[in-house]
């Protein structure tokens, strides 16, 4: 179990760090593909709490294992935000934008983004269950490419909604502003306070997005079980 958790933490860290540093779907999909092949034989290459939840509902993992995976995934996401903040430093423009956004409602566009996150995570997790856990595709070598192409295609198609399809990535991205303010050369405590206030205001929206992603994972798990009841 120790090796499984280490791989989950390591690869989730790199996935979250890459997602914070770039918004383009191509480098994220490429990185994800490599990470999947790195860890699939050890941990199953979840790197995503929605996937861990779906695998549990798929009855391919125990409850304790699911919570352990989720814990290291979320911890790795926070660590990624801190490390990226240390490496890239603080962006004063981000703090300025955060302050300006305080007057806006955090729920603007929430329904559209929630539907996109549910649909995208549903598709991603269903593909993962099909190519990574089904007896119909057992022994295939294309699982990493299939999963990465799903991310590339969906995030590219729905780019205007900036979907992440992953609660860990959502959490890491949300904490990046605060983490980067800790290591900034400008702004100091003032920037940290502003970023903290912005994070607190947007926290409900972040939780909604993460809940939508988990819901997509649940729908994928039950859809798989309904489509392939004999595949246990």
pLDDT tens digit sequence for 185-223: 555 676 677 777 777 778 888 999 999 999 999 999 999
Q: How many angstroms separate the CA atoms of 84 and 86, rounded?
A: 5
Greater pLDDT, 204 or 118: 118
Q: Are 147 and 32 in contact (CB under 8 A)?
A: yes
Q: Write down the domain spans for the chain.
A: 2-227
Determine the distance from the C-alpha atom of residue 200 to the mean position of all C-alpha atoms in its chain, rounded to a whole number: 20
> H helices of 44-142, where?
49-57, 63-88, 92-101, 110-133
CA dihedral angle for residue 197, residue 202, residue 206, residue 211, rounded to 10 degrees: 120
CATH top-level class of 2-227: mainly alpha
Q: Which two tokens stand for residue 34?
A: 């490599």
Mean pLDDT of 143-158: 95
**C-alpha closest to that of 129 among 25, 57, 184:** 57
Q: Are 214 and 74 in contact (CB under 8 A)?
A: no
Q: How many angstroms separate the CA atoms of 49 and 23, rounded?
A: 20
pLDDT in tens, 119-139: 999 999 999 999 999 998 888
Mean pLDDT of 74-101: 77
pLDDT the model gives residue 229: 85
For residue 187, give the DSSP letter.
Answer: S
> Residue 2 CB: number of other CB atoms within 10 A?
6
Residue 29 above 60 pLDDT? yes
Dihedrals φ, ψ of 231, to 5°?
A: -90, 90
């Amino acid at each position: 179990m120790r090796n499984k958790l280490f791989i989950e933490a390591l690869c989730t860290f790199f996935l979250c760090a890459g997602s914070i540093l770039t918004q383009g779907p191509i480098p994220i999909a490429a990185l994800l593909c490599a990470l999947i092949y790195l860890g699939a034989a050890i941990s199953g290459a979840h790197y995503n709490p929605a996937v861990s939840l779906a695998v549990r509902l798929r009855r391919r993992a125990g409850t304790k294992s699911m919570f352990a995976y989720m814990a290291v995934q979320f911890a790795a996401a926070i660590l990624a935000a801190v490390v990226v903040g240390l490496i890239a430093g603080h962006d004063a423009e981000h703090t300025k934008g955060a302050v300006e956004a305080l007057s806006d409602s955090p729920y603007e566009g929430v329904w559209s983004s929630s539907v996109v996150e549910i649909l995208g995570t549903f598709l991603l997790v269903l593909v993962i269950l099909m190519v990574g856990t089904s007896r119909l595709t057992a022994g295939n070598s294309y699982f990493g490419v299939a999963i990465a192409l799903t991310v590339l295609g969906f995030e590219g198609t729905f780019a205007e909604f900036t979907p992440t399809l992953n609660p860990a990535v959502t959490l890491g991205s949300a904490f990046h502003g605060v983490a980067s303010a800790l290591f900034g050369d400008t702004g100091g405590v003032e920037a940290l306070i502003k970023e903290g206030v912005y994070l607190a205001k947007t926290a409900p929206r972040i939780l909604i997005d993460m809940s939508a992603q988990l819901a997509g994972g649940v729908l994928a798990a039950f859809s798989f079980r309904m489509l392939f009841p004999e595949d246990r």
